[in-house]
Amino acid sequence: MNWFLKGTLTATLLTMGGVGAMAAPGVTEDKIVLGAVDPLTGPPSLLGKAHSLALKVWQEDVNARGGINGRKVEIVFEDDGYVPARSLQSLKKMVEVDDIFALIGTSGSSQLAAMMPLIDELGIPALNNMAVNSHHFNPPLETLFVVGPTYCQEIAAGMTYLVEELGLKDEKYAIAFQDDEFGDDVRCGYLAGVEKYGLDNVLELEFKRGQKDFSAEMLKARAAGVTVLVSGGVVAEHSTLLKEAAKNRMDITFLGAHSAHLTPVQALAGSAGDGYYAADYVPALNSLEVPGVARFMDLANKYLSESEMDSLNRYALAGYAGAMIFEHAMTECGKDLTRACVVKKMEGLDGFETDGLFGPVTYGDGVRHAPTAVMVLQSNAEDKTFSIVSERMEVE
């Protein structure tokens, strides 16, 4: 679309309130069509399946409550296989065929990056709560909202917990990190903690994405006397590092980002997966003392099968909390539901609560990132649960 025409059209719709002359895409008298792009096949499907199941739970619940201002919600799901080119194809299909109003599932970091130009061009309201990267909001896009801290902010908060709560200031620190943007972001938080507390950074180990053998890396770590290891891996890498540490009889404290807050990491690590720490911005599924978790699990038991329940993880809670945010914005618009109104209502969120699933959510004029507070969880490998061991920490 010509940028001048796009700007003129946007300004006109904002002036008119977007009603009367032109109906909002995906909105009828009795229905709102939303879209979600998730990895539903391949190894990353453990992320996407949990996220999509949570959105299905929310859809069933909101429709059972009468919908949003009388309109029922219909979510169109597309599988991108965690491939950026397929993410963009999926979004184009949902725009051209399904006529979606907004996007509430944005897959992974690189996958969202591939979709961002089209999101921006068409002014599609979108919410990312799955894989937070600074490139998603710096510079900000008008209609793309991001909730949750970056991996850098997560790990920095985790380092604060290790030093201030566990008293590990005088230990020998090391990091093993993946050779991509994700690994760099984890390393950013690690180095922030090292600098803040003057820690002894004895070793930095960069590894190839998809690497499966970490025996050489952990031998180096043992030789360097490492006692605290920060992991910049995705899922299997955490487990392999833990097993190698146990194999080498290393007594280490292990910290990962929220990608370590998954039962498959525990399962792959076996007994070596007991006691490690993960920094995250959502609680554990077993944290039923958190009102939002208890409510979600009740609804999930109502609407999901036993096998679907087994697929839930922390990405389900993130997805459900994100849907709560979007529901609030759409509800606030009343019957006159337009994209411009939803963007305005999202921008106006100030300390919005999700019953403990996220910390308070705040956006603002030109602010499209809500870096919610981080907590630290500890793995209980035997019963495949995680325990919250810290208060929520505001990120810097």
Q: Is residue 304 part of a domain?
A: yes
Q: Are residues 125 and 9 in the same domain?
A: yes
Q: Is residue 394 part of a domain?
A: no
Q: Is residue 325 part of a domain?
A: yes
Q: Are residues 173 and 258 in the same domain?
A: yes
CATH number of residue 342's parent domain: 3.40.50.2300
Q: Are residues 382 and 245 in the same domain?
A: yes
Q: Is residue 396 part of a domain?
A: no
Q: Are residues 17 and 126 in the same domain?
A: yes
Q: Are residues 28 and 131 in the same domain?
A: yes
Beta-carbon contacts of residue 11 (< 8 Å; ≥ 6 apart): none
Exposure class string for 266-275: b at 16+ Cβ within 10 A, else e? bebbeebbee
Closest CA to 176 of 140, 250, 229: 229
Q: Is residue 82 part of a domain?
A: yes
Q: Are residues 120 and 235 in the same domain?
A: no
Give the CA angle between residues 20, 24, 27 to the nearest 5°: 110
Structure tokens of 83?
């491939």
Q: Are residues 224 and 273 in the same domain?
A: yes
Q: Residue written as tokens 């990895």?
A: 39
Between CA 175 and CA 134 the distance in angstroms is 21
Q: Are residues 318 and 270 in the same domain?
A: no
Between CA 317 and CA 302 the distance in angstroms is 16
pLDDT at 56: 98
Q: Is residue 271 part of a domain?
A: yes
| Number of Cβ within a 10 Å radius of residue 46 | 17
Quote the domain boundaries for residue 347: 3-149+288-365
Q: Are residues 119 and 168 in the same domain?
A: no
Q: How many C-alpha atoms does 162 have within 13 Å on its Cβ side?
A: 32
Q: Are residues 11 and 141 in the same domain?
A: yes
Q: Is residue 370 part of a domain?
A: no
| Number of Cβ within a 10 Å radius of residue 389 | 13
Backbone angles phi, psi at 357, to 5 degrees: -70, -50
Q: Residue written as tokens 């201030």?
A: 164
pLDDT at 12: 44
- Number of separate domains in the chain: 2
Q: Are residues 35 and 128 in the same domain?
A: yes
Exposure class string for 68-91: b at 16+ Cβ within 10 A, else e? beebebbbbbbbbbbbbebbbbbb
Sheet holding 31-38, edge to edge: 72-79, 31-38, 102-106, 126-128, 144-147, 369-370
Q: What is the DSSP string of 155-216?
A: HHHHHHIIIIIT--TTSEEEEEEESSHHHHHHHHHHHHHHHHHT-EEEEEEEE-TT----HH
Q: Is residue 11 part of a domain?
A: yes
Q: Are residues 384 and 241 in the same domain?
A: yes
User: What is the mean pLDDT of each successive set of 10 residues along the chain, which is 396 residues long?
Assistant: 40 41 84 98 92 98 98 98 96 98 95 97 97 92 98 97 98 95 93 98 94 96 98 92 96 96 95 97 97 98 97 97 98 97 98 98 98 97 96 93
